[in-house]
Each structure stands twice: as structure tokens, then as C-alpha cells.
Chain A
Amino acid sequence: MCETCGCGLPGEEATISRPDVDSGHHEHGETAAHHHERPHKSGLLQLEQDVLRKNSLLAERNRGYFEALGIKVINLMSAPGSGKTSLLEKTLAALKDELPAGVIEGDQQTLLDAERIMATGVPVIQVNTGNGCHLDAAMVAKAMKEGAFESVKLMFIENVGNLVCPSLFDLGEDHRVVLFSVTEGDDKPLKYPTMFMSADVCIISKTDLLPYVDFDIEVARTNLMQVNHHLKVFELSVKQEESLMPWIGWLKGMKSS
């Protein structure tokens, strides 16, 4: 009995395979005079598909779009309150006149961060994710179309404050920058390794507070290297302008690379 369609004709074992073979419904040959209104199938569909495939494809499309326009893109990620927006404010002020920048702000709610960025004179779009805990590539594609980013050469995407979820979602960026502040503890990289593994740059922020907190910067560096020894590390405080210089210098160097 044909197990695939139940047509009563002798048949082989029903095997439906994907993606290499289009149809697994076996042929009965020309003598088998039977027809189906629609194919009925049962069995196993071998898929082996990456669950994040759609986001990854869209992220690659974003990457191509940015590359074509000569825009470098930074995906800025951290826990809430590590100082992403404050760092952006100072960074945008320092880059002004030299490198036209734009910002996509990701938050669950409110325009508060976008308003802070707008005050610096840089074009900005706010993405409110509602209940979402991260930005995805589709949100970035949409934001790029709606923002006044025509002259932008450096795009900052400030992700939703969250040290877990954004680590899984490629947005089409050139660099994934993760921040953590000295008030959060030097063991942060070990506690959230997925994020620190996914990044290529790490910023230890609020270093002006080092004298007041139990944060061992050597331990922090060791922990970072243990998780991801490819990380480029900056240590800075937005309260100490000179500490921002290596970071600013790196951003400026990026445009020609």
C-alpha cells in the first residue's frame, strides 16, 4: 500500500526530503492511473534550517545597503543604565563637523533618548519596540527609510538596554560594541558571555567612579579576554573628556577603513 497518499497502489516507503529534493512524493510510473486533487503527504520533512535565518538574511541586506552608501554602522549594546546615550551625546559632539552621524534609538517606550540625541543636532529615529527586548534587522531597515539620513556616514544604533537578547540579532552593523559600567561589577563578562562573545568592541564606562566602587579593572580585563580575546577594549568616562579620545580616534579611523 502506498503510505504516502493512501491510493492503494504498491509503493516505496514514504520519504520526503528537504532541501535537496523538491518533491518526496514518489512516482508510480506511467501505468499508475490515479490522480490527486492535491498532494497528501505524511512523513518527515528534513529541514535543518537556522531559526534566525530571516533576520540574518535581512541583516545582510542592510549591510549591503550601508556599504553601498558608504555608511559605517555601530550597534551599541548594554544593560539599561550603562551609559549608552550619555556616551552617544559626547561622541556626537566630538565628531561634529568631521563625521556626519545619525542615530537609531531603540527603547521599549518613550522618545526620551531620541530627544536627547536631537538636541545634539544629529538626525535621529526612535524605534519603540513595545514589549520587544531587542532591535531586529527589519526594524533597522524600516528606520533607515524613515530617517533623514541622506548625508550620514556613521550610523549609531543604540539597542534596547538588555545584555541578553540583542546578542542574537545581527542588524547589519560593522561593529558590535558592548558597554558595561564599573558600577555593574567586574564579573559581568562572565555572567553574560553570549553578549561579550558576540561583540568585537567593549567599552568599560563610568571609570570616574572607580575610586568609589569595588571594581577591579584588571579582573574586568582578564574576564573580558577569557570570554573573547578578540575584543578591542576602551575604558572611559563621559565626565572626563580626555578619556574619550581613544574611542573617538577609533571611530574617525573607521571611516577610511
Chain B
Amino acid sequence: MHELTIAAEIADLVTENAMKEGVLLVTAVHIEVGAFSGVDVDSLAFALELSVKDTIMEKAVIQITRVSGEAECRACGTVFALEDLFMASCPGCGSTGFHLLSGRQLRLLSVEISS
């Protein structure tokens, strides 16, 4: 349940950024979770419900976007989306040799604020 630690971290990050801007209310928070980030979206959503209590983002709409991974084939250079790291093969040439371009990210994308 590392999602709870991560949720607390997100609440801190949002608060920190909002304070810097002199913001009093955060109305929405956008988070991006990569398919291979090691974070479960449902667990994170649940953990955030607890973590935002008594914070500047208590009433904020929390939007968590799960993004699939993206890989580049080592053989033919095709860039393709993937959900499963180990069963995937290149749609262009069938090769199983590829490297991951994205999918491990866990980012606080943006927050919507209001005075």
C-alpha cells in the first residue's frame, strides 16, 4: 500500500505549489500514472480521499489518468503502445526486442486553482 505514501506526497506537492502562488483553493488536480509505474490507480484514488482531508485540495476534483506504455522497436524503429511488458511484440515486424520510451511516469501534471 505504497499508494498511501504517494497520495500524501501528492497532497504535499499540491499544497506547496499552491502556497507559492498564494492560492487559497485548489479546485482540480490532474495526475498521470504510467502503466508500468508500479502504482495502482484505484488504490491511489482511495488513498487520496484520505490524504486530502484538511488540505487546500480537500474539495478538489481529482483526475487520475492512466497512460499506457510506449515502446520503440529495436529492429525496425516502430513506435507502439503497450499494456503488457512481457507479451508484447512489435506490430511492425513482430520482434520482441524493444525499449520502453514511457510508461513508468508518476507525475503531478497540473492543478486548477481559484481565488
Q: B-contacting residues of A (Cβ < 8 Å)?
A: 5-6, 16, 18, 38-55, 132-134, 136, 164-165, 167-169, 190, 193-194, 197, 226-227
Contacts and interface: CB of A to CB of B under 8 A. Distances in A.
Interface in B1-60: 1-2, 5-6, 9-10, 12-13, 17-18, 21-23, 31, 36-39
A168 B106 CA distance: 10
Contact of B111 (A44, A53, A193): A44
A45 B110 CA distance: 5
Q: Give the most central of B1, B17, B38: most A CB within 10 Å.
A: B38
A181 to B, nearest CB: 22
Dominant secondary structure of chain A at its interface with chain B: mixed
Dominant secondary structure of chain B at its interface with chain A: mixed
Nearest to A23: B21
Given A42-B113, A47-B111, A49-B107, A136 B22 contact: no
Contacts of B5: 132, 134, 136, 165
B86 A50 contact: no
A16 B21 contact: yes
Interface size class, chain B: 20 to 34
Contacts of A55: 9
Contacts of B38: 164, 167-168, 194
Contacts of A51: 6, 9-10, 13, 31, 106-108
Contacts of B85: 193, 227
21 contacts: A16-B21, A39-B21, A39-B22, A40-B115, A41-B22, A41-B113, A42-B112, A44-B112, A45-B111, A46-B110, A47-B111, A48-B107, A50-B107, A51-B31, A51-B106, A51-B107, A52-B9, A168-B6, A168-B38, A169-B2, A226-B86
Contact of A47 (B1, B17, B39, B105): B17
List 8 tightest A-B contacts by C-beta distance, closest first.
Answer: A40-B115, A165-B2, A194-B38, A42-B114, A51-B106, A49-B108, A45-B111, A39-B22
